Chains A and B, each alone.
Chain A
Amino acid sequence: MGDFDFVYITQTVGDGLLFGSTYALIGIGFTLIFGAMGKLNMTYAAASLGGAYVGLAAFTFVNAPALVVFLVSALASGIVGFIAYLTCFRFIPIHNHLAALMASIGGLFFIDEIVIHTTDGSPLTFPAMFEDVMFELGPLGIRGDLLFVFAVCIAATAGLLFVLYRSRLGLATRAVSQQDVAARLCGIDVHRTNAVTFVLAGLLGGIAGAMTAAAVGVLSPLITIPLTVKGLIVTVIGGLGSIPGAIVAGLMVGALENVFLYFRGVNERDMYVLLLLFVFLVFRPHGIFGSAISRD
């Protein structure tokens, strides 16, 4: 395989770029919580898919339209995000990163297993938005639903940046993320601010989960761990705490995956993606854009 056919390769890259927007959405969630608390929330991808499952239940039982499915997913994942904050972060000493990380790993197992129990682990069909829309540009084809995911990705980012930089809540979030002691002295409620960040990230995660499920067309608990790993890789390549970085990194990973698959085959594909991460770690350890909030 892998002959140099220009149109074919352009199409391959294009497909990958668009699919990468689902990785980007997951990456944004990780990066947001990292930016706010300096912590890793391992429940994130599981909660996102969990939200998508709740959305799917709305579709299955009351035959809700796709838009409602997406909103329900977001809401459910936001609630899970809040619960994850309460159970895995709120009551654990702020400087004990290991305990919070471990608790959130427990949360990941818990959410995943709940999903597995409810569905018996069976793949379930997920309603797609604009499934039949295919834009034809000469010999190239662009999937309408992925274009929509891409648009949501941009919109979500714009919304997030607006909240972070133009609202009081955002000011508080940024204050807490940069200097939590000083923020506290200024009367900012750190716990409340963190909780809001988790809910925000959760809402976004629900959309990401539903988008991913819609893009594949099937939902299965098989993808939780791989999606977690991919989200983390995207977060690091994009630079910890950098939202635009997560987007660019998500798209890039999506596109390169397809290119590696096309030229080197599926067995080697992921090795090249990991090599890409190593290259970044060595030459650009702060990610694509570097990070405004540099914490370790």
Chain B
Amino acid sequence: MSYYLGLVQLIGIHTLLGLSAYVLMLTGQLSLGQAGFFAIGAYSAGILTVIFELPILPALLVGACIAAFFAFLVGFPALRVKGLMLVVATIAFGEFVRLFFFNLSWRVPRDGIEVGPDSTNGFREIRYFVANGWSAWEITTFVWVFVILVMVALWWMDRSRAGAVLRAVGEDELAAQSVGINLTAVKVTAMTAGGFIAGIGGALYAHTATYVDHLTFTVLLATFAISYPILGGLSSVIGTLVAVIFIQGVLVEGLRFLGDWRNIVFGLLIIAAMNLKPSGLFDARTARILKRAASLGRRG
């Protein structure tokens, strides 16, 4: 069971990572720097529970706020660049954060061993969950409380005026501006929200994995972050979840029986998916079909 629960935790965490990119994409900003915010959340929350011995909840929230703060700071210069420039600028930001943690060494003695981030050697002993006797079920529930909170919040926002504003900016900035939408406020808010969500994800990740090092937070992770919403489609938060299940559940874990061929199939399936369904596996059309099927089912 612990295997499936571990997988469910990982899916939850990656959903948060994907949703952090989703919020930005609604406003038309493509960020390959989400791994950076994820890393900030992971290291901050880890430092708080390990070095300052804080309980998990405050550590997680503070970690997410620190990530959100940096996202807020990144939001302003990011306004000046668009499209591909933003992609490269955010890659650079993410790499910068990674290199920062690569250089960070902050060790304190605890129970005879030194704990805390130790540059290349990584940050070990982030064992809050296991050391406090949390069962796999409890950890999984804890992770998913956050995933569901974030999903519900985003879903609700998407249906409210705020969602319309975000999408308006994403569709056509000039038009949005001309109807009185404050671009700066919208984009910076989206960036901050994305940072906060990625920060929660990172904090949860560090505590479920118990170990992080700078190599966890490479461009590859940032690529996964944008893959989820692109593959899932931008029509709803459900799409991101579907894509995470598709990638982490099916392609990474489910295809493990393919052994050597798994990673080759991985790339091919992504290419195929984008050619067949360029607007995402869970695009507006699929959502409508499912809805219709559901209502038919109810009637019949």
A–B direct contact (CB < 8 Å): yes
Which residues of chain A are near B83, meaning CB under 8 Å? Answer: 97, 295-296
Contact present for B274 and A267 (CB under 8 Å): no
Contact present for B270 and A105 (CB under 8 Å): yes
Q: What residue of chain B has the Cβ atom nearest to residue A84's Cβ?
A: B271
Contact present for A267 and B92 (CB under 8 Å): no
Contact present for B92 and A87 (CB under 8 Å): no
A93 vs B275: C-alpha distance in the bound complex, in angstroms? 9
Which B84-101 residues have C-beta < 8 A from chain A? 84-85, 87-89, 91-93, 95-96, 99-100
A274 beta carbon closer than 8 Å to chain B? yes
A278 beta carbon closer than 8 Å to chain B? yes
Which residues of chain A are near B102, meaning CB under 8 Å? Answer: 267
Shortest C-beta distance, A121 to chain B (Å), equals: 12
Contact present for B274 and A92 (CB under 8 Å): yes
Q: What residue of chain B has the Cβ atom nearest to residue A42's Cβ?
A: B223
Shortest C-beta distance, A49 to chain B (Å), equals: 15
Stretch of B57-65, B74-82, B128-136, B156-164 contacting A (4+ beta carbons < 8 Å): B74-82
Shortest C-beta distance, B71 to chain A (Å), equals: 16
Q: A93-B278, A267-B103 are in contact. Are A40 and B220 (CB under 8 A)?
A: no
A229 in complex: contacting residue of B30, B80, B219, B275, CB < 8 Å: B219
B266 beta carbon closer than 8 Å to chain A? yes
Which A275-296 residues have C-beta < 8 A from chain B? 275, 277-278, 281-282, 285, 295-296
B81 in complex: contacting residue of A91, A275, A285, CB < 8 Å: A285
Which residues of chain B are near A236, meaning CB under 8 Å? Answer: 84-85, 88-89
A117 vs B260: C-alpha distance in the bound complex, in angstroms? 8
Which residues of chain B are near A296, meaning CB under 8 Å? Answer: 82-85
A218 vs B18: C-alpha distance in the bound complex, in angstroms? 36
Contact present for A106 and B269 (CB under 8 Å): yes
Tally B residues with Cβ within 8 Å of A.
43
B268 in complex: contacting residue of A97, A106, A117, CB < 8 Å: A106
Contact present for A110 and B99 (CB under 8 Å): no
Contact present for A232 and B275 (CB under 8 Å): no
A259 beta carbon closer than 8 Å to chain B? no
Contact present for B85 and A277 (CB under 8 Å): no
A108 beta carbon closer than 8 Å to chain B? yes
Which residues of chain A are near B87, meaning CB under 8 Å? Answer: 40, 232
Contact present for B92 and A240 (CB under 8 Å): no
Q: A96-B278, A99-B230 are in contact. Are A109 and B92 (CB under 8 A)?
A: no
**For B91, B93, B218, which residue has the most chain A Cβ atoms within 10 angstroms?**
B91
Q: A110-B264, A270-B95, A282-B77 are in contact. Are A102 and B85 (CB under 8 A)?
A: no
A109 in complex: contacting residue of B84, B91, B266, CB < 8 Å: B266
Tally A residues with Cβ within 8 Å of B.
48
Contact present for A106 and B84 (CB under 8 Å): no
A114 vs B83: C-alpha distance in the bound complex, in angstroms? 30
B121 beta carbon closer than 8 Å to chain A? no
A225 beta carbon closer than 8 Å to chain B? yes
**For B30, B81, B95, B100, which residue has the most chain A Cβ atoms within 10 angstroms?**
B95
Which residues of chain A are near B192, meaning CB under 8 Å? Answer: none
Shortest C-beta distance, A27 to chain B (Å), equals: 11
**For B81, B87, B230, B231, which residue has the most chain A Cβ atoms within 10 angstroms?**
B230
Shortest C-beta distance, A63 to chain B (Å), equals: 29
B237 beta carbon closer than 8 Å to chain A? no
A232 in complex: contacting residue of B81, B91, B223, B226, CB < 8 Å: B91
Contact present for B85 and A281 (CB under 8 Å): yes
* Chain B at the A interface: SS class: helix
Contact present for A109 and B270 (CB under 8 Å): yes
A296 vs B79: C-alpha distance in the bound complex, in angstroms? 13
B235 beta carbon closer than 8 Å to chain A? no
A166 vs B82: C-alpha distance in the bound complex, in angstroms? 32
Which residues of chain B are near A235, meaning CB under 8 Å? Answer: 88
Which residues of chain A are near B230, meaning CB under 8 Å? Answer: 98-99, 101-102
Contact present for A278 and B88 (CB under 8 Å): no
Q: A34-B84, A40-B87 are in contact. Are A113 and B275 (CB under 8 A)?
A: no
Which residues of chain B are near A87, meaning CB under 8 Å? Answer: 271, 275
Contact present for A106 and B270 (CB under 8 Å): yes
Contact present for B267 and A109 (CB under 8 Å): yes
B39 beta carbon closer than 8 Å to chain A? no
A103 beta carbon closer than 8 Å to chain B? yes
Contact present for A98 and B271 (CB under 8 Å): no
B216 beta carbon closer than 8 Å to chain A? no
Contact present for B279 and A113 (CB under 8 Å): no
A93 vs B102: C-alpha distance in the bound complex, in angstroms? 41
Which residues of chain B are near A108, meaning CB under 8 Å? Answer: 267
Q: What residue of chain A has the Cβ atom nearest to residue B261's Cβ?
A: A117
A107 beta carbon closer than 8 Å to chain B? yes
A229 vs B220: C-alpha distance in the bound complex, in angstroms? 11
Q: What residue of chain B has the Cβ atom nearest to residue A106's Cβ?
A: B270
B9 beta carbon closer than 8 Å to chain A? no
Which residues of chain B are near A101, meaning CB under 8 Å? Answer: 30, 230
Which residues of chain B are near A281, meaning CB under 8 Å? Answer: 77, 80-81, 85, 89
Which A107-146 residues have C-beta < 8 A from chain B? 107-114, 116-117
Cross-chain pairs A/B with CB under 8 angstroms, 15 sampled: A34-B84, A92-B274, A99-B274, A101-B30, A101-B230, A110-B264, A117-B264, A232-B87, A235-B88, A236-B88, A271-B96, A277-B89, A281-B89, A285-B80, A296-B84
Beyond known contacts A99-B278, A232-B87, A285-B81: 5 more, CB 8 A cutoff: A106-B273, A109-B267, A232-B88, A236-B84, A270-B99
Q: What 3 A-B pairs have minimum CB-CB distances, sorted nearest first? A: A110-B267, A106-B270, A109-B267
